[in-house]
Every structure is written in structure tokens, then in C-alpha cells.
């Protein structure tokens, strides 16, 4: 089977600036000091100017200033998982430059990271935010710096964007993705997700996205175990869902739907062949009850083996970051965890489980298992041992202001900016 990330696709990004007039070519001469060869071309139809950018590792890109190009709608920033101050800054932007780039590595995750390197360079000190236009993901300067401080390929989380639609009382009734159909697949929709789903939204989204990319679920897959245990689902194309679901299941989202949110979108529903399906007929569909009412404690999300390998590679490449943050934050007493792949009893697969870290070394970790294995009989919850670095598939730092992991370091910045408040939070937690 062909590897889904082995694709050669054009990439599109943008950088937002504050001034009414967009920056001019001479303001980007500093790029040559970053190892980027710059060549300016006069504008053509609807283009004020165009600049060729070439870097020996990143590849080549075109920076384009179009006449009368408007910034994106402010709703784009409100859907983004970025700090409030950055949202306000982005909303103040009045001019925008576009970046177009061709694949250099024929690798979706690596090429998108190279585009981020170009976008960060173009931002310089004056850019407000950058955008990956394929999925609508907004990147702050801080987020880009965190991502670009290491050479790990992007996680799948970085090539999709989640939109959360909520009622006035902040009850979420529609969670959906963007970015998968833009690279040749389909996006997914969850209707009336429960609080547990929202708290694990990115883990769930990554699991679904990986299965879509791997082809293990299709737009109309009738039965699939997404989460173990009891997490069976069915994928139903949005057009079929709107035609076959009972009115109460589709009423909330219909007012928000347009062709863009219908075409190549599939709703996560109750699996086919259930009692509900037999009661209402084979064609009847309803949103997943499992995702709307209950999620078992310590759910085990299903990831394809290839996806686990990609996640593990990123976790291992960012292991030095975990060690440096642990040393930096020693005084706070945060909990540190790693996910380790342990060979299952059949010897054919690996079960990925969370361990609490006690000590970290160059080539191994001293850690205690936090949950009971499903398919590994040699260890049990509470067992402590030494494990090799090459077993790592994920890691986290649990702070009072959020989780730090290989995909997000926002909480680490909050800790640095508010040390006294963090100390007080940890003290209060100890006294509870």
C-alpha cells in the first residue's frame, strides 16, 4: 500500500501584517542573511510584486503581493487555538502576503514544515500571524518558533484544523475538521460531542485523521472500532446523513452548512447493524451515541501502525526538549509522562501505554506504568522499570495551565511568564 504522506502537492500560506499598505520588496532583503536567495519580479495582472525565494534545504517558494487582497475573515482567528492576545493582534491586520510553494521532498508532513520555515522567515519582526491556507491553521510567532526549533516532521495534527461550534452557553454541538479533503481525502464531523470527547479532542482527531489517511475508514465505512473498549462507529457521508437522519439529529447544524461543509465530509454515526439501525431501517442513521453520551475511563484510541511509527519518531526527536524542560521546571514538581510501545503477547504488535517518569537518561527512562494493559501480560499497573528511548511514542508534562507535549508547548510559555502564579497553584494542589 502506498504511503499516504508520499505526495507531491502545491502548498499555500500567508502572512498577515498590521499596516494598510503591504510591505515592499526592499523590506525583505534581510532574508538573504537567513540563507534565502531572493529575486524580485515586477508585478503582472493584479499583482503588485512577486519574489522568488530559494533555500538549499527548504526548497523554493514565491512570495506574492496581490492588489487589493483582503485579510481573511476575523472568524478564522476565533476558530484558532491561539492565545487571546494573538487573536486580537491578528484581527488588527490589514494587509497580507501570499506564499506559494511546490513540494521538495514529496512528503506531506516534511514539505509543510518547510513551508512553515519560509513563513516564519517572512514574518520577521513585523508579521502578526502566519496561516497554512490548505487547512486554515493559524500559527503565532511563538508557535512557529517552538515547532521550528527541532527537525521532526510535522504531526498530522498540524495539517488539519478543528472548528468548534457552540451554543450560547458554550455547549459544543458540532466539531469538525478542515484540511483533509484539500489533500485528496475527506473531513469528518462529530455532532453533539460530550465533554470527555472535547477534553480529548486532539487525540481523537489525530486518531480519526490517521485512519482516514491510511484508508482504514472510508466515507461510508459501516463498522469500525475507533476507541477500545465499546467505541464502535460508522462513517456516513454528510449528504446521506442529511437525507436519512431524523430531524432532531441534523437540525442544529443545517443552518451552518454550505457546499464546502457538505462535499467530502462524513459524519461519525452509530454503526450499521445495531438495534437502532434495524428499528428504523438499514438507511436510518444517527450521530454516534458513544461520542455524545459517554467515553470509558482511560480510553485507548485506535491508531494504525504506520501512524504510531510517525508519532513515535516525532516523540523521540523531541525527547531532548522534554529533558531540558524537566530540568528547567524542576522546582514546580510537575508530573512527567511518556507513552511507551510494549510488545503484545502475540509478538506481532505493540501496545502503547502511559508511564510516569522518575528519571531520564541519554538512552533509557525510569518509569512506572499508569494503566492496566489490555494485551501485555508481563507487566501490570504500578510496575516500575527501565525502558529504552526507542520505545517512546509520546510524552507529556502536566502543568496547572495545560499539557505540554511533542505537538504543543504553549503551556511551557505560560509557566515561564507566570512563575509565581504557578508556584501558588502547585502549593494549593498539594494541600487539597
pTM of the complete model: 0.87
Cβ–Cβ under 8 Å, residues 378 and 363: no
166 and 297 fall within a common domain: yes
All three cell numbers of 392 = 517512546
pLDDT at 410: 85
165 and 183 fall within a common domain: yes
Which of 154, 183, 217 marks a domain boundary? 154
- Domain-located, residue 6: no
Q: What is the mean pLDDT of the chain?
A: 90
Q: How far apart are CA 27 and CA 21, in angstroms?
A: 13
- Domain-located, residue 1: no
Which of 301, 329, 345 marks a domain boundary? 301
333 and 355 fall within a common domain: yes
- Domain-located, residue 313: no
Nearest-CA neighbor of 395 among 344, 341, 328?
341
284 and 345 fall within a common domain: no
Q: How far apart are CA 355 and CA 315, in angstroms?
A: 14
- Domain-located, residue 296: yes
275 and 397 fall within a common domain: no
Q: How far apart are CA 183 and CA 203, in angstroms?
A: 21
283 and 335 fall within a common domain: no
Segments forming the whole domain that contains residue 227: 159-301
- Domain-located, residue 4: no
Q: Quick: pLDDT tens for 322-357.
A: 999 999 999 999 999 999 999 999 988 888 899 999
150 and 41 fall within a common domain: yes
Q: How far apart are CA 390 and CA 407, in angstroms?
A: 19
- Domain-located, residue 425: yes
pLDDT at 431: 81
* Cis amide prior to 229 (ω within 30 degrees): yes
365 and 275 fall within a common domain: no
Nearest-CA neighbor of 233 among 241, 224, 242?
224
Cα separations (Å) of 332 from 15, 326, 366, 410?
37, 10, 20, 17
Strand 265-269 with 187-191, pairing: parallel
220 and 327 fall within a common domain: no
331 and 425 fall within a common domain: yes
All three cell numbers of 198 = 472535547
Q: Quick: pLDDT tens for 8-24.
A: 999 999 999 998 889 99
Which of 154, 183, 203 marks a domain boundary? 154
Percentage with pLDDT > 70 across the chain = 95
Q: Quick: pLDDT tens for 119-177.
A: 999 999 999 999 999 999 999 999 999 999 889 999 999 999 999 998 877 789 999 99
246 and 271 fall within a common domain: yes
Confidence bin at 201 (pLDDT 50/70/90): confident
Cα separations (Å) of 269 from 38, 158, 224, 233, 255?
51, 25, 11, 6, 20
165 and 293 fall within a common domain: yes
pLDDT at 273: 53
- Domain-located, residue 351: yes
Q: Is the pLDDT of residue 275 over 60?
A: no
- Domain-located, residue 309: no
Phi, psi of 415 (to 5 degrees): -65, -45
Number of domains making up the chain: 3
Amino acid at each position: 500500500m502506498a504511503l499516504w504522506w508520499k505526495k507531491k502537492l502545491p502548498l499555500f500560506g500567508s502572512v498577515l501584517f498590521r499596516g494598510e499598505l503591504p510591505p515592499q520588496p526592499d523590506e525583505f532583503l534581510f532574508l538573504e542573511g537567513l540563507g534565502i536567495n531572493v529575486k524580485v519580479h515586477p508585478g503582472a495582472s493584479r499583482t503588485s510584486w512577486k519574489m522568488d525565494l530559494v533555500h538549499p534545504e527548504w526548497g523554493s517558494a514565491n512570495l506574492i503581493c496581490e492588489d487589493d487582497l483582503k485579510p481573511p475573515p476575523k472568524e478564522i482567528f476565533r476558530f484558532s487555538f491561539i492565545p487571546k492576545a494573538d487573536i486580537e493582534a491578528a484581527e488588527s491586520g490589514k494587509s497580507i502576503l501570499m506564499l506559494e510553494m511546490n513540494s521538495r521532498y514529496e512528503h506531506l508532513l516534511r514539505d509543510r514544515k518547510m513551508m512553515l520555515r519560509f513563513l516564519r522567515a517572512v514574518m520577521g519582526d513585523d508579521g502578526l500571524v502566519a496561516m497554512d491556507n490548505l487547512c486554515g491553521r493559524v500559527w503565532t510567532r511563538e508557535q512557529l518558533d517552538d515547532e521550528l526549533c527541532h527537525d521532526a516532521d510535522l504531526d498530522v495534527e498540524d495539517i488539519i484544523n478543528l472548528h468548534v461550534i457552540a451554543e450560547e452557553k458554550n455547549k459544543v454541538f458540532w466539531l469538525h475538521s478542515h484540511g483533509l479533503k484539500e489533500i485528496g481525502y475527506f473531513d469528518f464531523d462529530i455532532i453533539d460531542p460530550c465533554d470527555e470527547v472535547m477534553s480529548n479532542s486532539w487525540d481523537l482527531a489525530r486518531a480519526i485523521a490517521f485512519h482516514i489517511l491510511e484508508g482504514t475508514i472510508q466515507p461510508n465505512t459501516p463498522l469500525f472500532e475507533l476507541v477500545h473498549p465499546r467505541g464502535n462507529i460508522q462513517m456516513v457521508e454528510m449528504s446521506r446523513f442529511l437525507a436519512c437522519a431524523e430531524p432532531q439529529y441534523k437540525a442544529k447544524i443545517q443552518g451552518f452548512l454550505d457546499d464546502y461543509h457538505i462535499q467530502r465530509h462524513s459524519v461519525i454515526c452509530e454503526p450499521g447493524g445495531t438495534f437502532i439501525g434495524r428499528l428504523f431501517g438499514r438507511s436510518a442513521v444517527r450521530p454516534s451515541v458513544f461520542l455524545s453520551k459517554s467515553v470509558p475511563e482511560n480510553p485507548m484510541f485506535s491508531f494504525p501502525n504506520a501512524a504510531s511509527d510517525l508519532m513515535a519518531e516525532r516523540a523521540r526527536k523531541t525527547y531532548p526538549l522534554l529533558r531540558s524542560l524537566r530540568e528547567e521546571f524542576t522546582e514546580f514538581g510537575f508530573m512527567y509522562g511518556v507513552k511507551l510501545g510494549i510488545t503484545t503477547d502475540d509478538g506481532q504488535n505493540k501496545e502503547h501505554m502511559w508511564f510516569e517518569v522518575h528519571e531520564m537518561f541519554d538512552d533509557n527512562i525510569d518509569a512506572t506504568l499508569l494503566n492496566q494493559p489490555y494485551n501485555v501480560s508481563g507487566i501490570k499497573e504500578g510496575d516500575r522499570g527501565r525502558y529504552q528511548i526507542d520505545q517512546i511514542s509520546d510524552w507529556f508534562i502536566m502543568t496547572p495551565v495545560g499539557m505540554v507535549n511533542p505537538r504543543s508547548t504553549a503551556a511551557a510559555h505560560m509557566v515561564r511568564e507566570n512563575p509565581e502564579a504557578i508556584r501558588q497553584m502547585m502549593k494549593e494542589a498539594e494541600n487539597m
